[in-house]
Amino acid sequence: MKRIDVAIAVVVRHDRILICQRKSQDTFGGYWEFPGGKCEAGETLEQCLCRELREEVDITAKPLSKLSVISHNYPHVQLTLHPYLCEHVCGEPKLIECQQALWVEPAELRNYQFPPANESLLREIVERLSARAPDDAP
Model pLDDT for residues 14-45, shown as the tens digit of each residue: 999 999 999 999 889 999 999 999 999 999 99
Q: 98 vs 78, 102, 106, 112, CA distance in Å?
A: 23, 11, 20, 15
Given this model, what pLDDT does residue 76 score? 83
| pLDDT classification of 132: cutoffs 50, 70, 90 | low
For the chain, percent of residues with pLDDT exceeding 90: 81
Q: Which residue has the higher pLDDT, 75 or 69?
A: 69
CATH number attached to the domain at 2-130 = 3.90.79.10
Q: What confidence tens digit (pLDDT) does each residue in 102-116 have?
A: 999 999 999 999 998
**Alpha carbon of residue 75 to chain centroid:** 22
Nearest to 124 by CA among 103, 137, 104, 109: 109
pLDDT of residue 74: 84
Q: What percent of the chain stands above pLDDT 70?
A: 94
- Provide the residue ranges of all domains of the chain, joining segments of one domain with +: 2-130
